[in-house]
Chain A
């Protein structure tokens, strides 16, 4: 590109950086990602027993206290961020990769193909998400890859329908007509002209979906169908600590619970922000 164009690019990057620094939700999101990526390098081994006395309250040395096995809750919450966010991200990613093209194709092709896909998606969505997930876990068994696939599967219909409804008006638009008149093929039109125009909705939905995925994973672990202790996972940790709340040892369940709340709030707010920024 020319010199003027790269100047313009640099200006765009600077103003984008400024927006990020001034928006708390972007900072919160970046913090989350950093904790998940590099946080585990700076904390204790989450499976190390007897770090302190069992069920020690939060102190200067052990910020979040210890659990019933004497493991460092802070280290476990940080490690769990990697697992929870990772599962959520991969699961939502798989759901996008499958759901989005199907939805776009349904809208573009129309007819019986469209009706068929829509009915399949609706019959999946007729079941409460968690119930559906519980059913599949019970059938397949609770391994991490299985959990990822299950969470992805229950989210595919969401992307399919969302993309379909966003693509429908575009299919009739003049620029798609113009692209067809210029002799471009259907798949190229879908990839180059249609999908980039719906990316904003998809990105927003992706963020919401990651939040859902964490919720589903935590809920499954909480009822004992997901990740099992001692693997550090927020939902499982809340489950493990729930019994001690009544004895006054609130910290075991509270901190992983707060981590879930903070993550879901951040991801939902991020989606809101993306949707309203354009």
Chain B
């Protein structure tokens, strides 16, 4: 099925508009989510998110808690909570519109074109089914294969994910797995139908430090080998630095800066990105740097830069209007001072 998959050099995020639509794997434009029935009490956790993932690229989506990272992932899967009343904007996966798509179409896309792995691997596997059986079942949902063949493929996948004695372990239950192994199994399940895009939502946050590195390397290796793309959601900018070639910095439901990881992380243009990096890098000197304040609660439509209150570079004009994401040389930045 994946024979004609185009595995090219990662495209720059900013230049996506000129791309041939056939190559657009994921294209999110002006995505907004409203929770509640509008008016004063509505919460608007996403307000105009723009995001691109091209074939073969690995994009890191970073931000603090409450910035809307996981909600963006849910929107891409068409799995927003039922109380999210209104979704506007556009999410195109391989040219197919996700916003407003029927459940039937979404079910066809999920798993086979876009798959996800979660933070807590043990909770994301069913306790009363064998690990191998669960993976085989996902394969049978999307492909017309026999029970026997799907089982064999599940075993092969577990083996490729580095689970020793995969044939026997496929018959085990998740409580018999360690945390690291369960995350490997979750990766096997996510990759079982050869998705074009893998979303990894904080895949290593539930693991201890020594395992984090192994699992990250495995995710990158497997995604690369299959010619798939990765959307890595994390609060840890260090993980993005190691794993991704593209980065999008999310704050208060808006993208503050996006571009190649090399450019953005070495010379951040947006003060928020800069402060985030300063907080991350300050572990080496003795002082711990933090960004004072917290992510604002998003009641109502933003009419000013959401970071203005916490920003060391803020000027009065920052509170006048919402800065839009604009192209600047090698990246896109939302800040009036750039």
**Interface assignment of A61: CB less than 8 Å from any CB of chain B:** no
B129 with A192: CB separation less than 8 A: yes
A175 with B107: CB separation less than 8 A: no
A180 with B138: CB separation less than 8 A: no
B116: A residues at CB distance < 8 A:
178, 181
A192 with B112: CB separation less than 8 A: no
A110: B residues at CB distance < 8 A:
82
B110 with A183: CB separation less than 8 A: yes
Contact A196:B168 (CB < 8 A) given known A177-B118, A181-B111, A188-B141: no
A4: B residues at CB distance < 8 A:
168
A193: B residues at CB distance < 8 A:
126, 129
* C-alpha gap A175/B123 in the complex (Å): 6
* C-alpha gap A192/B129 in the complex (Å): 8
B168 with A184: CB separation less than 8 A: no
A183: B residues at CB distance < 8 A:
106-112, 138, 141-142, 193
The A contact surface, by secondary structure, is helix
Number of A-B contacts (CB under 8 A): 76
Contact of B171 among A5, A188, A196 (CB under 8 A): A5
* C-alpha gap A27/B303 in the complex (Å): 73
Chain A residue nearest in CB terms to B107: A183
* C-alpha gap A177/B108 in the complex (Å): 16
**Interface assignment of B38: CB less than 8 Å from any CB of chain A:** no
Binary interface encoding of chain B residues 125-146 relative to chain A, with 1 for a CB under 8 A from any of its CBs, else 0? 1111100000001100110000
**Interface assignment of B167: CB less than 8 Å from any CB of chain A:** yes
**Interface assignment of A179: CB less than 8 Å from any CB of chain B:** yes
Contact A185:B129 (CB < 8 A) given known A175-B124, A177-B124, A180-B79: no
**Interface assignment of A2: CB less than 8 Å from any CB of chain B:** yes
**Interface assignment of A182: CB less than 8 Å from any CB of chain B:** yes
A173: B residues at CB distance < 8 A:
123
A120: B residues at CB distance < 8 A:
none
Q: By CB atoms of chain B within 10 A, which of A1, A173, A179, A188 has the most?
A: A179
**Interface assignment of B186: CB less than 8 Å from any CB of chain A:** yes
A199: B residues at CB distance < 8 A:
128
Q: In the complex, what's the smallest C-beta–C-beta distance from A183 to chain B, in angstroms? A: 3
A179 with B126: CB separation less than 8 A: yes
* C-alpha gap A175/B122 in the complex (Å): 9
**Interface assignment of A197: CB less than 8 Å from any CB of chain B:** yes
Q: In the complex, what's the smallest C-beta–C-beta distance from A130 to chain B, in angstroms? A: 36
Contact of A174 among B106, B109, B120, B141 (CB under 8 A): B120
A192: B residues at CB distance < 8 A:
126, 129, 137
B107 with A185: CB separation less than 8 A: yes
A182 with B171: CB separation less than 8 A: no
Chain B residue nearest in CB terms to A188: B141
Q: In the complex, what's the smallest C-beta–C-beta distance from B8 to chain A, in angstroms? A: 27
B129: A residues at CB distance < 8 A:
192-193, 196
Contact A182:B110 (CB < 8 A) given known A5-B171, A177-B118, A192-B129: yes
Contact A2:B115 (CB < 8 A) given known A178-B186, A183-B107: no
B126 with A175: CB separation less than 8 A: yes
**Interface assignment of B189: CB less than 8 Å from any CB of chain A:** yes
Contact of B125 among A5, A175, A184, A196 (CB under 8 A): A175
B189: A residues at CB distance < 8 A:
178, 182
Q: By CB atoms of chain B within 10 A, which of A4, A178, A184, A193 has the most?
A: A178
A184 with B118: CB separation less than 8 A: no
A178: B residues at CB distance < 8 A:
116, 118, 124-125, 186, 189
Binary interface encoding of chain B residues 90-125 relative to chain A, with 1 for a CB under 8 A from any of its CBs, else 0? 000000000000000011111110011010100111
B108: A residues at CB distance < 8 A:
183
Q: In the complex, what's the smallest C-beta–C-beta distance from A175 to chain B, in angstroms? A: 5
Q: In the complex, what's the smallest C-beta–C-beta distance from B46 to chain A, in angstroms? A: 19
**Interface assignment of B77: CB less than 8 Å from any CB of chain A:** yes
B107: A residues at CB distance < 8 A:
183-185
Interface of chain A residues 188 through 204 with chain B (CB within 8 A):
188, 192-193, 196-197, 199
Chain B residue nearest in CB terms to A193: B126
* C-alpha gap A197/B174 in the complex (Å): 14
A-B pairs with beta carbons under 8 Å apart, 25 shown: A2-B167, A4-B168, A175-B123, A177-B79, A178-B124, A178-B189, A180-B79, A181-B110, A181-B111, A181-B116, A182-B110, A182-B111, A182-B141, A182-B190, A182-B192, A182-B193, A183-B108, A183-B111, A183-B193, A184-B137, A192-B126, A192-B129, A197-B126, A197-B127, A197-B128
List 20 other contacts, CB 8 Å, given A178-B118, A197-B128, A199-B128.
Answer: A2-B168, A173-B123, A174-B124, A175-B124, A177-B79, A178-B189, A181-B77, A181-B115, A182-B111, A182-B138, A182-B189, A182-B193, A183-B111, A184-B137, A184-B138, A185-B141, A193-B129, A196-B126, A196-B128, A197-B127
- List 7 A-B pairs, minimum CB-CB distance, nearest first: A183-B111, A183-B110, A174-B123, A182-B111, A174-B124, A178-B124, A196-B128
